[in-house]
Amino acid sequence: MKLDFYYHNPTKIYFGKTALEHLPAELANYGDTVLLVYGKGSVKKSGLYDEITAVLQKAGKTVVELSGIKSNPTYTQMLEGARLVREHQVHLILAVGGGSVIDCAKGISLSAYCKGDPWERYWVNFEDVDNEIVPVGAVLTMAGTGSEMNGGSVITNEEKMLKNGRVYPPEVYPKFSILNPEYTYTVPKYQMVSGIFDTMSHLMEQYFSGTDDNTTDYLIEGVMRSLIHSARIALKNPEDYEARSNIMWCAAIGLNTVTGLAKEQDWEVHMIEHQLGAYTDCAHGAGLAAISIPYYKYISPYGLDKFVRFANNVWEIPTDTMTKEDAANAGIEKLTAFIEELGLPQTLRELGATEAMLPLIANSTVQGGGYKHMTADDILNVLKACY
C-alpha cells in the first residue's frame, strides 16, 4: 500500500430479509418531518411504498413526498426536493429506490441550504460543502451503483446537457441503508444486468491503474469473481436469494471506497458514459458495457502486465505460453463474452446515439485516464470504435 489514504465510511448497513425491521429505531434518531423520495412507480407496484409509509405513520412522522425521480435524475427534480426541504423544514430525507433516487436525495440534502447556485458551486467547481447537510437514509431496491454506501451524487443538468458526478465527503453518505436482496427480484432483467455491469465497471476502473503490489487489487479480483459467478446464477434464476444477495453486497463494496484504497484509479469509462447519458438518457450500466471493450483495447498496451493479471486471476486463463499482448486480449475477450452473456448492448447506436453526437460527447467529457491520458481525440476514437 504505497499511497497514503484516509478511510471513513459512516453508513450503517442493515442487510437481509429482515433489514426493514430496523427502520423504526433509525427513524427515532431524527425529527418529525420526513421527505420520502422515490422513482416512477416500482415501489408502489411492489408494495414497498405501503410498507414504508405504514412504518412512518406508526413512528408519528409527518411525510412530504417527492416522487417520479427519473433514471439519471435531473437537476430540476433535485431543486424541487431542495425547495420542499426548506418549505417543510425536513429533518430526514428517506430515499426508496435505486441509485438515481439515492443520488437525488443526496443532492437535495446538500443543496437545500446552499448559499448560491448549487450546480455551479458543488457539481462544477467542486467547492467544499459549507452549509447544513440534511441527513439521508436509504432503502435500496436495485443493486449496482453503490450509492447506498458512498458520497456519490450524479445529476443531469438537462439545460446544460451535462451529467456531472462527484464523490462528497462522509457527511453526505446515507446515515443508514436498508439492503434486502428480495426487493431486487422485481427489477426488470435489463436493469438487473445494467446494475451488474455497473458494479463490474466500478471494480475494473479501480483495478486498472498502478503497478504496485496492493492488497486492494487482490480484494477487487475476489469481488469480481463473486460478481461474475453470482450474475450467471441470477441470469438463470432471478429469485436465487444467495446470488442476488451476493450481487447486492458486491455492488456496495464495489464503490464504498474500500476497493479504491491506495489506488490511483482510472474513471474515464464513467466520464465518457456520463456524457453519453446526457445525450441519450441510456441506462448507465448499459452505456458502460458498450464503451468498456473499445476503451480497454485502446489502453491495454499501456498497462499490459495488469491486463495479463486480469486474464489470469479473474478469468482463470492459463497465459504462460502466450505473449503479453495475446494474454491481455484473451482477458478482454472473456469480458466481451460476459457482456454478451448478460445481453447488454455493445454499440452506441443501440443506445440511441447518432454519429453527430460523437464529437459533442467527446468534447464535453472530462479528460483523464490511468495507464493512458485520454484527450478528446482519444475519446472520439473510442466512441467511433463502438458506434
Looking at the Cβ atoms of 55 and 272, the one nearer to Zn ion is: 272
The residues with which 65 forms a beta bridge, in sequence order, are: 36
Nearest to 50 by CA among 38, 143, 109: 38
Looking at the Cβ atoms of 106 and 309, the one nearer to ligand NZQ is: 106
Residue 183, binding choice from ligand NZQ, Zn ion, none, Cβ under 5 to 8 Å by partner class: ligand NZQ
Residue 97, binding choice from Zn ion, ligand NZQ, none, Cβ under 5 to 8 Å by partner class: ligand NZQ
Cite the DSSP H helix spans in 47-188. 48-58, 75-88, 99-111, 118
Determine which residue in the list 26, 198, 205, 217 makes contact with Zn ion, applying CB under 5 A. Answer: 198
CB of residue 75 to ligand NZQ, shortest distance in Å: 12
Determine which residue in the list 109, 111, 150, 259 makes contact with ligand NZQ, applying CB under 6 A. Answer: 150
Task: Tell me: does residue 107 bind ligand NZQ (CB under 6 A).
Answer: no
Max CA-CA distance within the chain? 68
Task: Tell me: does residue 278 bind ligand NZQ (CB under 6 A).
Answer: no
Cβ neighbours of 370 (radius 10 Å): 22
Task: Tell me: does residue 41 bind ligand NZQ (CB under 6 A).
Answer: yes
Size of the site for ligand NZQ (CB under 6 A): 35
Task: Tell me: does residue 174 bind ligand NZQ (CB under 6 A).
Answer: no
Burial of 281 (0-12, 13-18, 19+ CB in 10 A): middle
Determine which residue in the list 244, 284, 306, 309 makes contact with ligand NZQ, applying CB under 6 A. Answer: 284
In a 3-state reduction of DSSP, which class is residue 9? coil
Task: Print burial letters for 184-212: b (CB count within 10 Å at least 16), e (below 16).
Answer: bebbeeebbbbbbbbbbbbbbbbbbbbee
Q: How far is CA 234 from CA 133, 156, 262, 337, in A?
A: 38, 31, 32, 17
- Cα separation, 70 vs 151, in Å, equals 19
**65 sits in which H/E element:** strand 62-66
Residue 378, binding choice from Zn ion, ligand NZQ, none, Cβ under 5 to 8 Å by partner class: none
Interface mask (CB under 6 A) for ligand NZQ, residues 237-276, using x and -?
A: ------------------x--------------x------
Cell representation of residue 145? 451503483
Interface mask (CB under 6 A) for ligand NZQ, residues 348-387, using x and -?
A: ----------------------------------------
Interacting residue ranges for ligand NZQ, rule: CB under 6 A: 39-43, 46, 71-72, 97-101, 103, 141-142, 144-147, 150, 152, 154, 165, 183-184, 186-187, 191, 194-195, 198, 255, 270, 284
